[in-house]
Chains A and B, each alone.
Chain A
């Protein structure tokens, strides 16, 4: 395989390296997740700087190294800046990026996961754009604007979600469930994971494998019937339609709890970012 190659990629995140460099995590179409050294990117005159913010879709040229690849060229396909400009959209999207980063190994080509990421960002972009348009139309400002877009980074508990926040969260939950499906972690949602009964399923256990009937409960937590219906619905619904799903906040928080528990069990790690 040639040591220099081109591919489509999406920026997941980065951390500093040395004085002026960064290691940027790219999710590429050709080789999956690729940790990439970008030299001099933190300098003001770097030609890459603005192109390597999270969610940016790029056409990149990479040079293969032993552990890290090196970025030699990048052209922007789509910046997705509108997601970064909206705190609620940003937080939700960072939550999905975190899960994708943890659920996928480095250097493994995963074309379906890449397509999911591309579609997810397009849907979040469209949702954030419509929120921005609505905000411009209403001409609201100050605190009212905050109510429309929500605040991010903590203090979410105990606060009602705005309509726009709910949309970002539901699109994100839909994408996370689809990612669990692709990763092979999808739990039983229509019948009991132990006895196969398809009656009432009031409990959930990631360790046992999903929804449980009351008799098989064991080490599990209680879920509403609506939560399982919502999870099945989000899995069957294209992402483009997920944003208009009628899911209330309590149900969304239960879906998130199930997703987090599945990740905790299968990946052995806690997701840090709640999508709201």
Chain B
């Protein structure tokens, strides 16, 4: 239906998360109306992303240098390590503004059904960071689902006795009505209640 270059771009854009063929068509025709410079800037940005971004040598967050901005920042508390599944999980924690320690990105969560075992995650590297000394607390911030909880329990068992291991609290989301909460979340919230 479309000339080959148009069809090719639609196909490529359709591979992006949340972009169906209809959205890909809209983006393609939007780009057709823009100048060549705009299109080149977008293409160059994508190539630069792939060429320059790699994993931080210490925490495995994305970075364009050897260490990421968090690991390079001397003002952050290096005795705290917050363990997350993916680099995108760091964003809400940073936006929260309560945490000033370092991170460790596992690259997923243990899931035997999907064939993800401990050796597929960066657990060995986390243990090495703790073994190197200077860490007083490891905060498990994996997702509050079965795979995330299993991963947290597995790592807590590995690090037990070496360092304090804590887990992010589970409970009711701020701004929600209790009436609509599911039973599992309410149970967790009740177990994790705190004194006022």
Contacts and interface: CB of A to CB of B under 8 A. Distances in A.
A154 interface: yes
A contact patch SS: mixed
A272 B115 CA distance: 7
A91 B180 contact: no
A15 B111 CA distance: 11
Interface stretch (A45-53, A129-137, A227-235): A45-53
A84 B149 contact: yes
B192 to A, nearest CB: 14
Given A50-B182, A79-B184, A272-B112, A154 B160 contact: no
Interface residues of A, number: 35
Interface string B119-158: 1000000000000000000000000011001100110010
Nearest to B184: A50
B98 interface: no
Interface stretch (A106-114, A118-126, A145-153, A182-190): A145-153
A44 interface: yes
Contact of B185 (A19, A49, A143): A49
Interface string A77-99: 00101001101001100110110
A18 B100 CA distance: 31
- Interface of B (DSSP majority class): helix
Contact of B187 (A56, A81, A142): A81
Nearest to A48: B182
Given A18-B17, A91-B112, A151 B183 contact: no
Contact of B180 (A18, A47, A153): A47
A30 interface: no
Contacts of B180: 47
B96 interface: no
Contacts of B183: 50-51, 76, 79
Query: Which 4 A-B residue pairings sit nearest by Cβ, starting from the closest?
Result: A50-B184, A50-B182, A50-B185, A273-B112
9 contacts: A15-B114, A19-B17, A45-B173, A53-B184, A54-B146, A85-B149, A142-B161, A154-B118, A273-B113
